[in-house]
Amino acid sequence: MGELFEQMKQVFLNLLNPTELMKVLEQPEIMMAAFIAVTMVIFTETGLLIGFFLPGDSLLVSVGIVAWNSDWPIVLLMGILSVAAIVGDSVGYWIGLKSGPRIFNREKSFFFRKDHLLMAQAFYEKHGGKTIILARFMPIIRTFAPVVAGVGKMDYRRFLMFNIVGGVAWIVSMLLLGYAITPMLDPPLKGLFGPEFQTAKHIEKVIILVVLISISPGIYAGLKGWMAKRKAAGAALATANAVTTPPL
């Protein structure tokens, strides 16, 4: 048992360092500890307010890469982590439901970011129930979106439907992305950079790409909103000019 905890500790200590994390996960004897540790991370990021800083996307992609290179049971991983993500969001929902609107009055601290909660609330007000699905692919917002749904007393059966769809889609897509990177990219890149090239050794670049993909929906939504406001402002200015301009 002590060895298992020590192995899990290695995973936790290297969560924010993709290169070292890959080295830890690639150790054959650490598979069970890695499964437990990754499950705890996914649950915490999606279910507890303190999990907003955890690297869910990059962790899942890293695990997918290791699963390919180390013959980990990818289908079992998908099942376990999907359940962790679904249960996590449900816990977040009940935290919001029990806390109610007073959670917005909570003071900012290291473990709680009120601005992140407000950002999730704004996203939820714009996109409604589908936020629970979209937020899965957006760091930080995925931690606070279920809480906002709970505060808003969203029908739980409706929430659960979005929760299941979003949780499974997020886990499966991120794991498969990592799982497919090695067989898809290694052959052509070996032709460019030599037979010793391995995508897994350039995990930092892969993670940067994943993060950019993860935040792209938020960037797109922000740009779309900004352009809509500019268009509305332009139309209002044109209308005002038309009213105030005297006829010739």
Tell me if 237 is assigned to some domain: yes
Residue 39 lies in a domain: yes
Task: Please tell me whether residue 109 adopts helix, strand or coil conformation.
Answer: strand
Host domain of residue 172: 2-182+194-244
* Residue type for position 55: P
235 inside domain:
yes
* Mean pLDDT, range 50-76, rounded to an integer: 88
Percent of the chain exceeding pLDDT 70 equals: 68
Residue 189: inside a domain: no
Give the C-alpha separation, 41 to 52, whole Å: 11
Q: The whole model's pTM is what?
A: 0.76
Q: What is the pLDDT of residue 245?
A: 54
Distance separating alpha carbons of residues 87 and 42, to the nearest angstrom: 10
User: Is 126 contained in some domain?
Assistant: yes
Residue 57 lies in a domain: yes
In a domain, 131, yes or no: yes
Of 76-80, 103-107, 111-115, 231-235, where does mean pLDDT reach its minimum? 111-115
Number of domains in the chain: 1
Confirm whether 188 is domain-assigned. Answer: no
